[in-house]
Amino acid sequence: MVVRVHVTAFGAFEGVAANPTVDIIQRLVQENALQSKQAETLDVDAKLCAAWCSKQTRDDDMPSVYIHLGVKQSATSPQIELEACARNCADFPVPDNANYQPTNERIDDAFESDAILRTRLDVDEMCKSLSAKGYQAKVSQDAGRYVCNYTYWHSLNACRTNPLHHALFIHVPDTNVMPVSDTTAAVCEVIALACASVEAKLPSCLCDRF
């Protein structure tokens, strides 16, 4: 069975000269942990990220998981956070790299302000599995209001109409809190858990095709 996996990182932005998520996907590629899976670094440009989500998520029957990595600057403990949801609110504390800085605006006018979209992946169960394997992880209900949340909203919304497509956002600490080698190992495990979860829920008729 093959689950199509796309892993994204973010590049530098105001206040973050070196984004650890870039190092993570580089290590995943170097260690061949992604195999045939795809990895890409996105510019911290909300509109470009939204366009990327719309372009990448396809209306097809290929099981897919879109995993987005972002740095949580305020993190003080060495654990990753699996974001359970995104909110329909853009309230950027600093401009993105295109100098876009919305203030308490809707991301999508088709939804009510502060509407919530949730991942269909069982993040609670994934955290339990991660803890059982010695990784530090928690479920978060707040992905912020910056480009991370903006991207996650569009990714979840793009996957919403296709039950075979799933999205997940992972916030990681900076390297002064958690070594990138440890973070990479945890992310690699999340990828495996996400793929296993998607495969387990596929109808047998689809499993036979891949």
Tens digits of residue pLDDT in 17-30? 889 999 999 998 88
Phi, psi angle pair for 118, to nearest 5°: -115, 145
Q: How do the domains of the chain map onto residue ranges?
A: 4-207
User: What's the mean pLDDT in 116-127?
Assistant: 97
Fold of the domain built from segment(s) 4-207? Aminopeptidase (3.40.630)
Among residues 3, 131, 148, the alpha carbon closest in space to that of 79 is found at 131
d(CA 148, CA 13): 12
User: What's the mean pLDDT in 19-42?
Assistant: 83
How many other CB atoms are there within 10 angstroms of residue 97's CB atom? 16
pLDDT in tens, 64-76: 999 999 999 888 9
Buried b or exposed e, range 26-56, using 16+ CB within 10 angstroms: ebbeeeebbeebebebbbbbbebbbebbeeb
| Residue in this structure with the two tokens 């039950």, named with its chain if needed | 163
d(CA 168, CA 66): 6
What pLDDT is stored for residue 202 in this prediction? 79
What pLDDT is stored for residue 58 in this prediction? 65
